[in-house]
Amino acid sequence: MTSPFEQESKSSDITQLTNRALDQSVNKLPDKTLADLAQVRAAALEYSKIKPEQPLAKRLYHYISDHLLVNITVPVAAALVVVFSMKYVTPNTIPAMPIAMLTNEVPTEDLAMLEDLEFITWLAKNEANTVL
Amino acid sequence: MEAFLADIEKRAYHMALLATSSHADALDLLQDSMIKLVTKYQDKPSNEWKPLFYRILQNRIRDWYRHQKVKNLLFFWKTDDDDDWPISSAEDVLGQTPEKDLGKQQQQAAALEHLQKLSPKQQQCFLLRSWEGLSVAETASIMTCSQGSVKTHYFRAVTKLRSLMEEGHDITF
């Protein structure tokens, strides 16, 4: 039975042997293969000179972010802030009804007073028309 | 970038050749990997180019295997007659060396032969860890697997290489 040390030593031997074989093989590549490799390398390096065209979506995104972002987005955002921060009061705004008027039961005293008020208003209106 | 590619191309070509056993396919994989590195990662720091390049190459090799699997399924009646293996054969190596080094050269030739018999993952893991000298973490990142898997693949590769050498050539390590 081999000890772990011996096992490791054997593994080291086989790896060294294989690595030497690989190194020697690399050093003895045929001239044709070396020429092919040089050609492949030259072709790959040509690509570094060509600037690839970006896809349409990316170009559009860059255009929007570079040109339109500041010119449009900022004013729009400012306008939205102003709109939401202001509170409009229009003549047509209906004021909230008093809670008392929402109930069905109106106190009788108030009802009588309302009727009197209505009568006086009508009288005043007719008197004004008669005078005119 | 040119200097980096010139430095790495032979070893990378060897890796691709061991994986594909075809000179043409190996060149294609190498070219694709170089183009991708040059077009997408040229702006990265130069110390990142090596792991990036090997990662791209490993991905290309993996894609090649998948493609071959499908091709073999669809065209199972075809045989590949144009496999060329320009790596120095034992005769090439033996013909140039003095007799005293013959034994060692034979062993080296046999080692290369057995390296081809490993599974793709074991083979590439061995090349990255042992030949290129990359760390476990770097190899795991390149092969997109866990560090444990790298250790397992590497251990199995070395064990298999040793057993093949001991069986086939009556060599003991």
Q: Are B2 and B25 in contact (CB under 8 A)?
A: no
Concatenated DSSP letters for B95-146? TTS-GGGHHHHHHHHHHHHHHTTS-HHHHHHHIIIIIS---HHHHHHHHTS-
Q: What confidence score (pLDDT) does residue A86 get?
A: 75
Distance set, CA B17 to CA A24, A84, B27, B69, B148 (Å): 15, 69, 8, 17, 26
The shortest C-alpha distance from A4 to chain B (Å) reads 13
The shortest C-alpha distance from A60 to chain B (Å) reads 21
One-letter amino acid of A57? A
Per-residue pLDDT tens over the stretch A79-127: 888 888 776 656 666 666 666 666 666 566 778 888 888 889 888 888 8
Task: Kindly report the pTM of this predicted structure.
Answer: 0.63
Q: Is the pLDDT of residue B61 over 50?
A: yes
ipTM: 0.78
Best of B53, B162, B164, B165 to substitute, by most chain A Cβ atoms within 10 angstroms, is B162
Stretch among A62-66, A90-94, B28-32, B165-169 having the lowest mean pLDDT: A90-94
